[in-house]
């Protein structure tokens, strides 16, 4: 390995990846994805779709997941800064319903690996952000699920600065709390 460093957290399966950046007076170079390095780090996935979005400050997208066609995701920010967050939705998981968040930015170049069956979302902290992600399954519009971004049962601590106005899609304003998904 050596081209990436991998951090874990209290929720099994989540990984924060920091690439090795080679820089000089011309700028920098880094590998954003190398199958062999990721497989050695325990991320042995076949990605089938890449997505990219652009959002302005205060946009909150989430918390989304696919119900019957879950996706592993590898996410990163190529411009700006976001607070990226997930909720463990894995039935039977000892951390079911718990959340974890990390700041991703063009500056820190970190990536976040999110296994299947996590709800995912992010809040744009910079004036604008471009967000990219690789997925292991295709998007199925009729398979969407979501959890309210502000569900008190989950208790995500969003870093919302004073005076920031949030912008959510009508769909994201209507997701139920996590209790709607418990057996």
- State the catalytic residues: 64, 133
Q: Which of 97, 98, 114 is nearest to 181 (CA)?
A: 97
For residues 146 and 122, what is the distance between their CA atoms, to the nearest angstrom? Answer: 13
Q: What are phi and psi of 178, to 5 degrees?
A: -65, -25
CA quadruple 69, 71, 77, 81: dihedral sign: positive
Region at 154 (left for phi over 0; alpha for psi -120 to 50; beta for the rest): alpha
- Per DSSP, which regions of 69-173 are E strands? 73-79, 81-88, 99-105, 111-114, 118-124, 128-135, 144-146
Query: Which H or E run contains 5?
Result: strand 4-8
């Amino acid at each position: 390995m050596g081209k990436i460093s991998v951090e874990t957290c209290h929720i099994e399966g989540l990984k924060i990846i920091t690439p090795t950046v080679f820089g000089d007076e011309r700028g920098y170079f880094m590998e954003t994805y190398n199958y062999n390095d990721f497989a050695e780090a325990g991320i042995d996935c076949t990605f089938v779709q890449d997505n990219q979005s652009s959002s302005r400050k205060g946009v909150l997208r989430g918390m989304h997941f696919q119900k019957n066609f879950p996706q592993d995701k590898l996410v990163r920010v190529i411009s700006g800064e976001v607070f990226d967050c997930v909720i463990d939705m894995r039935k039977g998981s000892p951390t079911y319903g718990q959340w974890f968040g990390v700041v991703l930015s063009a500056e820190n170049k970190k990536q976040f690996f999110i296994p299947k069956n996590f709800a995912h979302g992010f809040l744009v902290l910079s004036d604008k952000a471009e967000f990219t992600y690789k997925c292991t399954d295709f998007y199925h519009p009729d398979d969407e699920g979501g959890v309210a971004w502000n569900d008190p049962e989950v208790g995500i601590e969003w870093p919302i600065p004073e005076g920031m106005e949030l912008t959510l899609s009508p769909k994201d304003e209507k997701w139920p709390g996590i209790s709607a998904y418990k057996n």
